[in-house]
Amino acid sequence: MSDIRIISYLPNPRVYKATIVARYSGASIEVIGDAPPEMVHWLWDYDAIKMDDAGKEANAAARRTAKTGFTGALYKTDAFLQANPFGDIPAAFAEDGSTGIFESNAIMRLAALSGPNAPALYGDTNVARARIDGFLDKTLLFADVIQKYILAGADLDANLHEQMAQAFANYCGALEAALGHHEYVSGDALSLSDVVLVCELALMSNESRMAAELAAKGLAPILPDLKTYPRLYAHVTRLLDEATFAADLAGYAKYIRG
Ligand SMILES: N[C@@H](CCC(=O)N[C@@H](CS)C(=O)NCC(=O)O)C(=O)O
């Protein structure tokens, strides 16, 4: 029995926050999922299964309208929605499935607090932990804009592009300043704040798939600006080279490096 079971579409850098951290804490994580378009055929549940048409009919009561990142119908059981009232993935289950943990940062925290080496990457004092939490909260705000930007599709416009550019400049500017004071984002040791940084940039690297849409609208890609933050760029590329990060993020590295 694993410490944590995660249901998600794959690949998903938000899931990798937890799997990267588990390499330090020793938490055992089971990841169940499929390519994004296939998740409409899955029953979202602790006992997630891929369904055929007969399975969908048998689980008609679980049929719900998708909200974010998916369109049409998704199959979420009542138990899934009790575990995660927001109904999104990645969704995690702990304690034999009786408790749901949602939001990828929270799932990552559980990975940091589980396993033989726990707590890992989560500070040695309450103050250090609160400081790491501050970076995680700021990263979630940044990530919310990334999500809107990369899911915009044909709705992408100059206004949304400007919001993304502003959020990117604010976040990267702050981290560039922080890295002027110490080696890692929140202090002198690797922490969860470094992990979320790299994983959300990996998510943002999906911008590379928007090249035609951006060009058609006369908008420039934003992620290549990472190079204009030299300490941050060096930090991120160094972490991408670490085996603990590369195991999950190797496929994203060339897009982040630019
Ligand atoms: N901030 C959340 C984002 C999760 C999220 O928004 N997931 C979307 C897919 S990108 C989802 O599961 N949508 C389900 C739906 O459309 O009902 C996290 O980091 O875990």
CATH number of 4-112: 3.40.30.10
Overall average pLDDT of the 14-27 stretch: 98
- Please give the distance, rounded to the nearest whole angstrom, from the Cα atom of residue 80 to the centre of ligand 1: 14
- For the Cβ of 40 lying below 6 angstroms from any atom of ligand 1, the answer is no
Q: Whose CA is nearest to atom 10 of ligand 1?
A: 69
pLDDT (0 to 100) of residue 217: 96
Rounded CA gap, 209 and 219, in Å?
14
- For the Cβ of 12 lying below 6 angstroms from any atom of ligand 1, the answer is no
CATH number of 126-257: 1.20.1050.10
Overall average pLDDT of the 68-94 stretch: 97
- For the Cβ of 104 lying below 6 angstroms from any atom of ligand 1, the answer is yes
Whether the pLDDT of residue 98 is over 90: the answer is no
Rounded CA gap, 87 and 142, in Å?
21
- For the Cβ of 200 lying below 6 angstroms from any atom of ligand 1, the answer is no
Which residue ranges make up each domain of the chain?
Answer: 4-112, 126-257
109-137 per-position pLDDT tens digit: 999 999 999 999 999 999 999 999 999 99
pLDDT band at 96 (very low <50, low <70, confident <90, very high): confident
Overall average pLDDT of the 179-185 stretch: 98
pLDDT (0 to 100) of residue 88: 98
